[in-house]
Homo-oligomer: A and B are copies of this chain.
Amino acid sequence: MSTASAGTRTYSYLGPAGTFTEAALGQVREAEGQNWHPVANVGAALDDVASGRSDAAMIAIENTVEGGVSSAQDALANTPGLRIIGEYLVPVSFVLVAPRGTTLDQVAEVAAHPVAYAQCLEWLGKNVPGHSPVVAASNVASAIGVLDGTLPAQAAIAAPGVVNHYDVEVLAEGIGDNPDAVTRFVLVTRTALPPARTGADKTSLIVELPKEVPGALVDMLEQFATRGINLSLIQSRPIGDRLGRYRFVIDADGHIADERMADALMGLKRFSPNVIYLGSYPRADHEQNRYNPRYADASFADARDWLRDLLSGADPA
């Protein structure tokens, strides 16, 4: 297993080569030419970072086709000392691949990871009627198994990245039933200064409720609403030690350097028995954060000046 060194940086990702996660890592300019370290699951990737074996890990965090999103959130919640520093989107697009020389009419069995298979059902029903599915362990293992004969199938549903690593016949591209599907990945490092604010940022948090009374959830969300902050993700997760206790995984629009976000974070900190700040980072879609001007930085500065006048016994300007 490789070790992070001064000269070369090491990036852990869900392997093998050819996965969607590898495609996400391919979007990171700083990772070009560095050491890419494939691992078997998200927990291993984060452990690499926490222990210093890797400088960063790329993990799927939402709407994935490779499983493990809940475990990614749980791992982030349970591993101290981590920060998300970037977000990457990869289109969920599948290819049907086979050994060189194969044609579509020769395909009777199709190897696929079950989640991928479910997302290509419509296309397969039309284009490979009467086929049987063969279960594979991943969106790359399907292709490998068909190539080396360990899976009893003539073709495989795979991530598009396999064509960069294996010599395959591409029988069809874009066979997923939802052409707009994407998976969201995040790049995770040890605790560090947040990346600079861009105006198109996201802040990720995990927040516990003070107790499970009706209304506590609303009260928590008010911390965002009263500062004009929109949420793009909210998800309750059982805390795991026993049923009935929950924490919330939250993505909020904006950066910790935004006054309104800093203020909301402090509000959450006072309200919640446990707030885990996962990081502020540029949004993958580069969409500018929109907000009511009353929550602009200047508005916070004005309010502070006004308060200072009141406290000093002066009439406000």
Interface residues of A, Cβ cutoff 8 Å to B: 14, 40-44, 62-64, 67-71, 75, 80-81, 89, 113-115, 117-119, 121, 133, 135-138, 141, 150, 178, 180-182, 191-194, 210, 212-215, 217-219, 221-226, 228-238, 240-244, 246, 248, 256-257, 262, 265-267, 269-271, 277, 285, 287, 291-292, 294-295, 299-300, 302-304, 306-307, 310-316
Q: What is the CB-to-nearest-CB distance from A87 to chain B, in angstroms, rounded to a whole number? A: 12
The 8 closest A-B pairs by CB, nearest first: A67-B67, A193-B313, A266-B303, A269-B303, A41-B118, A43-B118, A137-B137, A41-B114
Report yes or no: A136 in contact with B137, Cβ–Cβ below 8 A: yes
Given A68-B114, A270-B300, A304-B266, does the pair A256, B135 have CB atoms closer than 8 Å?
Answer: no
Say yes or no: A310 contacts B228, CB within 8 Å: no
Query: What residues of B have a CB within 8 angstroms of the CB of A136 in the complex?
Result: 137
Most chain B CB inside 10 Å of its own CB: which residue of A40, A192, A312: A40
Q: Check A64 against B70 for contact (C-beta < 8 Å).
A: yes
Q: CB < 8 Å: which of B217, B230, B262, B299 contacts A270? A: B299
Are A311 and B256 interface neighbours, CB within 8 A?
Answer: yes
A219 → chain B closest CB, angstroms: 7
| Contact in complex: B121, A43 (CB < 8 Å) | yes
Q: How far is the CA of A238 from the CA of B287 in the complex (A)?
A: 16
Q: How far is the CB of A188 from chain B (nearest CB, A)?
A: 14
Instruction: With both chains docked as a complex, state the minimum distance between the C-beta of A268 and any C-beta of chain B, in angstroms.
Output: 8
Contact present for A225 and B214 (CB under 8 Å):
yes
For residue A299, give the distance in angstroms from its CB to the closest CB of chain B.
Answer: 5
B231 with A217: CB separation less than 8 A: yes
> In the assembly, what is the distance between CA of A53 and CA of B242, in Å?
37
Find chain B residues with CB under 8 A from A63 CB.
Answer: 70, 237-238
Which residue of the partner chain B has the closest CB to A179?
B241
Cα separation A120 to B14 with both chains bound (whole Å): 17
Interfacial chain B residues near A232, Cβ < 8 Å: 236, 244, 246
Complex: A117 Cα to B68 Cα, angstroms? 11
- Measured in the bound complex, the distance between the Cα atoms of B40 and A119 in whole Å is 12
Q: Are B313 and A181 in contact (CB under 8 A)?
A: no
A307–B228 contact, CB under 8 A?
A: no
Q: Is the beta-carbon distance between A295 and B311 smaller than 8 angstroms?
A: no
B270 touches A80 (CB 8 A): no
Say how far A308's CB is from chain B's closest CB, in angstroms: 10
Of chain B, the residue at the smallest CB distance from A142 is: B137
Contacts A44-B118, A214-B228 given; 6 further ones with Cβ under 8 A? A68-B115, A136-B137, A212-B230, A214-B225, A234-B235, A256-B307
